[in-house]
């Protein structure tokens, strides 16, 4: 009888550990991508607003977050010229208040493969900047494609807020 009880106790312990392990795996957060847009704001030199993307990756110590936006390399290039993808955490170039000025955002879970595709899209984004055709909305739209999201049509003349709003509507 003691053998049977010992076996039942061991089996119950294994079962409980398996359930606990499965629950922790199921409850583990997934990587995500977040699209954000600010409206025009003269105080931070964002005359048209700005769209940018953030990637969140759960780690054992918390969430690792990287945020990227597309900018003209110089103020003279705003209507056409070299562009640069830069970190939104580069507070020497951009005010830290930008995050508090976000008026619309969309967060979607992504796979690790989609995260890699998004990072490759960002790393390969070597474009000339143009306020009317290749701008921060263009980068956000390319990232949305790499994430497998439904993308709104006709984004060239959308403001950042209009774009992220349309993206949110297309991906409930």
pTM of the complete model: 0.77
pLDDT above 90 covers a percentage of the chain that reads 47
Per-range mean pLDDT, top range of 29-38, 45-54, 124-133, 152-161: 29-38
> What is the chain's percent helix, strand, coil content, to nearest 5?
40, 30, 30
128: which strand partners? 82
- Range 95-112 burial, b when 16+ CB lie within 10 A, else e: eeebeebbebebebebee
Q: Mean pLDDT throughout 118-127? A: 91
24-83 pLDDT, tens digit per residue, is 444 458 999 999 999 876 555 566 788 999 999 999 999 999 999 998 887 766 667 878
Question: Residues 74-107: pLDDT tens digits?
Answer: 776 666 787 888 888 877 676 677 788 899 999 9
Sheet with 62-72, side-by-side order of all strands: 102-109, 32-38, 50-59, 62-72, 81-87, 128-129
């Amino acid at each position: 009888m003691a053998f049977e009880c010992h076996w039942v106790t061991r089996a119950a312990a294994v079962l409980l550990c398996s359930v606990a392990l499965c629950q922790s795996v199921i409850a583990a957060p997934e990587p995500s991508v977040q699209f954000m847009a600010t409206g025009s704001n003269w105080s931070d030199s964002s005359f048209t607003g700005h769209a940018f993307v953030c990637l969140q990756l759960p780690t054992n110590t918390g969430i690792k977050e990287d945020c990227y936006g597309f900018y003209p390399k110089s103020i003279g290039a705003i209507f056409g010229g070299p562009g640069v993808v830069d970190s939104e955490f580069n507070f020497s170039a951009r005010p830290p208040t930008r995050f508090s000025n976000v008026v619309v955002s969309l967060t979607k879970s992504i796979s690790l493969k989609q995260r890699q595709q998004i990072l490759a899209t960002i790393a390969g984004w070597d474009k000339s900047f143009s306020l009317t055709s290749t701008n921060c909305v263009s980068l956000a739209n390319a990232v949305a494609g790499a994430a497998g999201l439904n993308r709104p049509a006709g984004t060239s003349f959308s403001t950042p807020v209009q774009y992220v709003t349309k993206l949110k509507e297309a991906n409930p």
